[in-house]
Structure 1
Amino acid sequence: MQFIDLAAQYQHLKTKIDARIHKVLDHGHYIMGPEVLELEEQLAEYVGVKHAITCANGTDALTLAMMVLNIKEGDAVFCPTFTFFATAETIAFANATPVFVDSEESTFNICPVDLEKRIQHVITEGKLVPKAIVSVDLFGLPANYVEIEAIAKKYGLTLIEDAAQGFGGTLNGKMAGAFGDIATTSFFPAKPLGCYGDGGAIFTNNDDYAALLRSLRIHGKGSDKYDNVRIGVNSRLDTIQAAILLEKLAEFSVELGARERLAEAYAKEYAEQFIVPKLPQGYTSSWAQYTLRSDRREASMKGFENLGIPTMVYYRTCMHQQTAFVDLGYNDGDFPIAEKLAKQVFSLPMHGYASCLGYE
């Protein structure tokens, strides 16, 4: 059994993906070819925003968002401590200071109550300028944007939605990737919508942000590629990856339905043995991971291993416990819910091509 069966997915889509790749090979526009623009248009339509700007990977998407919002030294950017390293890394890379926030136990996502407390503390302390919030849609479930957007507005902060895992999920009918001032996603192969390499995208309804993003991703270009009007980066999505994503996006709704059925099967099977994820009212999840909780995690994972079922842990170490952030002065116990989750969580195989769903 595969944790994420990309081979089965490819076999299912092989004819269409191969045809798309060969079309790129025939026209030879490997960088910023026509498939890139086609994908951006389809992504914007799917998410329900004015602009989708592709880039080289999800980390670059966050970095570009920091650049557009002018995040800099002396700024405080609030983000969850229970997340993948890139969330906080890109804040530090912009020379700003990540201010970590505890989690909601029931959803794994950033806790709005603790978020407001951390903002108030930074304001009271007066050492940093509160600038932005990065909210992560963890394991496929959008964060509580009803409350988070209200907090951002109350304190005059910009909001970045990190939808790398949440892409395909919804809150009150609104797609992940459509929240905040800017949203980002990743097309890493293991993500709900993944390519066959690295890739990412940024979403926004702000015309000025979109124009700046399109410049920054290609060395800060102006009217043509040899007129550079600002310092940018080299972060373009390869045309072949765009071609692959076009076929995967066309199948995405079918795969989300299969993921949902697998999640329902897991819940039915394991609800009495483990703490299983539950969807709050008004939410759907893209089930980037199906994450159980157990106070006997290692023994539980061994039990699944004995059955031939692979498991993974996302995440064993919170951001405030990472060696790279030791100078920020956090201590164990500062984020009790996140630290508890980090000791309990483990994930089961999740993809749309499990044999129990009719695929062999």
Structure 2
Amino acid sequence: MKKIIPVAGPSITKKEIDYVYQAIKNGWYENAFDYIKKFEDKFKKYVNRKYAISLPSCTSALHLSLLSLNIKPGDEIIVPDATWIASAAPIIYLGAKPVFADIDPETWCISNKTVKHLVNKNTKAIISVNLYGNMPEYDELKKIGIPIIEDAAESLGSKYKNVLSGKFGLTSCFSFHGTKTVTTGEGGMLVTDSKKVYEKCMVLRDHGRKINDIFYDNLIGGYKYKMSNIQAALGLAQIERIDQLVKKKREIFNWYFNALKDCPHISLNPKQENVFNSYWLTTCLINKQKINKIKVIKSLKENGIHTRPFFNPLSSQPAFKKVKDSKRAS
């Protein structure tokens, strides 16, 4: 039987199995939050943040981030046009307007030049996406003076100017989907240095209950945005192995890079001067005038190598047809 090389998948060792087993066996009643606390503590120390909140997804982290900024209908949020829909969907949840910015071809991330032309009196935040582990020029992006929400779903372990991804927004949001470098099956994490943001998000994620309240006092209507103790056990084991996992991802990328660097009409994930990329996925662009993408995908699959297409521009998606003036700005 031909060996299959998947697009991405988890690295599960005895450590993960042992932690999850302990959570299943003992993580109930007064121990129901043990691994959640340990995972949050370990994660915030890794990315050098004051607060961490475990969540069911990165999408929920982005949603809470927008809520922490009191985003309301009529507000505008700038988001890159090239990203997964989850980066922009929470904007729609709140009745706000996504404004799609072009990307920098050198980084595959949001173009600071484009952002500057899009900012107006209604702009309340910029969602910056670290696409495929790449990082935008955060120094310049911060100078614009608009609150940044860092979508770090794909960049755990990446660094910009030797600072780890997760340190560049008012909040930074991570994904632990099954394909990610660190996984909890499904899951997310919101990190911040703001006590005010942390406390508001903690209340919102648990049906509006007071933080650490043993009674059922609900301050506001909130959400059920909590990670389970079992998921957190898996996440803790994974984050304890983060250096090993990132090293392996980089080895895989460099193997493909060295094998394909002399192939015409193929450009792999850019190697940025100020960025250490954790290479969540090995990605490339092909010259569609010279190479048929569908044939490449089919040929690779026949040889046991699974691939997936790049994200389509959000401004071209049916989901955003009703968003007035949501076309990409160039």
Q: TM-score, normalised by structure 2?
A: 0.91
CA distance in structure 2 between the partners assigned to 1:241 and 1:4 by the alignment: 22
CA distance in structure 2 between the partners assigned to 1:331 and 1:210 by the alignment: 31
Alignment match, 1:93: 93
- The answer as to whether partners of 1:32 and 1:237 remain within 8 angstroms in 2 is no
Say if 2:290 is the partner of 1:301. no
CA distance in structure 1 between the partners assigned to 2:25 and 2:32 by the alignment: 15
Name structure 1 gaps, 5 residues minimum: 124-128, 337-360
Name structure 2 gaps, 5 residues minimum: none
Structure 1 residues 4, 250: closer, same or farther in 2, change over 3 A? farther
CA distance in structure 2 between the partners assigned to 1:18 and 1:262 by the alignment: 25
Structure 1 residues 4, 276: closer, same or farther in 2, change over 3 A? closer
Say if 2:235 is the partner of 1:245. yes
Q: C-alpha offsets along residues 294-324 of structure 1, whole Å, 9 cap, x if unaligned?
A: 1222233233234321111131x21111112
Q: Which residue, out of 167, 190, 200, partners 2:179?
A: 190
Say if 2:79 is the partner of 1:79. yes
Q: Which residue, out of 207, 214, 218, partners 2:195?
A: 207
CA distance in structure 2 between the partners assigned to 1:143 and 1:227 by the alignment: 42
Say if 2:175 is the partner of 1:172. no
Alignment match, 2:123: 130
How far 1:262 sits from its partner (Å)?
A: 1.4
Alignment match, 1:20: 19
Report SS of the residue matched to 1:298.
helix
The two structures, once aligned, show a CA RMSD in angstroms of: 1.8
Q: Which residue, out of 316, 324, 328, partners 1:321?
A: 316
- The answer as to whether partners of 1:142 and 1:163 remain within 8 angstroms in 2 is no
CA distance in structure 2 between the partners assigned to 1:186 and 1:281 by the alignment: 25
CA distance in structure 2 between the partners assigned to 1:267 and 1:298 by the alignment: 21
- The answer as to whether partners of 1:136 and 1:161 remain within 8 angstroms in 2 is yes
Alignment match, 1:348: none
- The answer as to whether partners of 1:40 and 1:54 remain within 8 angstroms in 2 is yes
Q: C-alpha offsets along residues 5-41 of structure 1, whole Å, 9 cap, x if unaligned?
A: 646x22xx1x222221221122242895111011101
- The answer as to whether partners of 2:47 and 2:165 remain within 8 angstroms in 1 is yes
CA distance in structure 2 between the partners assigned to 1:27 and 1:167 by the alignment: 30
Q: C-alpha offsets along residues 277-304 of structure 1, whole Å, 9 cap, x if unaligned?
A: 2221121112122111112222332332
Q: C-alpha offsets along residues 83-113 of structure 1, whole Å, 9 cap, x if unaligned?
A: 1011111011111100110011122111110
Structure 1 residues 331, 240: closer, same or farther in 2, change over 3 A? closer
Alignment match, 1:354: none
- The answer as to whether partners of 2:249 and 2:281 remain within 8 angstroms in 1 is no
For 2:239, give the aligned amino acid: L
Percent identity of equivalent pairs: 25
- Where is the helix percentage greater, Structure 1 or Structure 2? 1
Report SS of the residue matched to 2:123.
strand
Report SS of the residue matched to 1:290.
coil
For 1:182, give the aligned amino acid: T
- The answer as to whether partners of 1:319 and 1:325 remain within 8 angstroms in 2 is yes
Q: Which residue, out of 233, 243, 260, partners 2:223?
A: 233
Alignment match, 2:283: 291
CA distance in structure 2 between the partners assigned to 1:271 and 1:306 by the alignment: 23
For 2:6, give the aligned amino acid: F
Alignment match, 1:148: 141
For 1:83, give the aligned amino acid: T
- The answer as to whether partners of 1:320 and 1:330 remain within 8 angstroms in 2 is no
Report SS of the residue matched to 2:322.
helix
Number of residue pairs the alignment of both structures matches: 318
Alignment match, 2:209: 221
CA distance in structure 1 between the partners assigned to 2:309 and 2:25 by the alignment: 42
CA distance in structure 1 between the partners assigned to 2:183 and 2:16 by the alignment: 13
